[in-house]
Amino acid sequence: MKSLRDEIGKQHPFDLPEEEAYLNIRRTAALLDRRFNRLFKKAGLSEATYNVLRILRAAGDRGRCWSEIRDDLVVPVPDVTRLIDRLVTSGHVERKRSTTDRRRVHIVATKSGRDVVDGLDADVRNLLTSSLGHMSAEQLATLSRLLELARSGEHAS
């Protein structure tokens, strides 16, 4: 297993362990992003549109309003409205006005949108397994806990 220093050809140790950890997170995220973005691109999606479709698939016929979608995205995007507009244009989602509160608009996955996500499920699982399956369940749980701990300091500064 190569260290980050070896991978990037850094001659001297990092000045701060926080810097090394941060760069390790970024390097790993970039590697995983490339792999998953290739998969999503084949289906005509981006990571964000795939994530929205997964959220809406789980919401079922009730759908979600845009603010709920925004809050549930794994990786925040600056303009959820435009993202939803693209999914409406592609026929993967539709807007439905609430029958109880006309001010609320729910976004619902269409059959086409659900089919796209359903069709990616096995490939996503395979990619997850090929990317992270060499780690034990205990190591993956530890990694998840450590990343959650890192995010808990987000509001510290």
Task: Say which residue the tokens 């409406």 belong to.
Answer: 88
Is residue 121 in a domain?
yes
Helix %, strand %, coil % for the chain, to 5?
65, 10, 25
Domain of residue 108, residue span: 14-147
pTM over 0.95, yes/no: no
CATH number at residue 132: 1.10.10.10
| All residues at 6 or more sequence positions from 125 whose CB lies less than 8 Å from its CB, including other chains | none
Is residue 3 in a domain?
no
**Secondary structure class of 104 (helix, strand, coil):** coil
The answer to whether the CB of 69 falls within 8 A of the CB of 57 is: no
Is residue 153 in a domain?
no
Is residue 49 in a domain?
yes
* Tally of domains in the chain: 1
How does pLDDT run along the chain (157 residues), one tens digit per residue? 889 988 888 889 999 999 999 999 999 999 999 999 999 999 999 999 999 999 999 999 999 999 999 999 999 998 999 999 999 999 999 999 877 877 889 999 999 999 999 999 999 999 999 999 999 999 999 999 999 999 998 665 5
Is residue 109 in a domain?
yes
**Distance (Å, rounded) from C-alpha 100 to C-alpha 87?**
25
- Please choose, from the candidates 69, 89, 90, the residue with its C-alpha nearest in 3D space to the C-alpha of residue 79: 69
Is residue 157 in a domain?
no
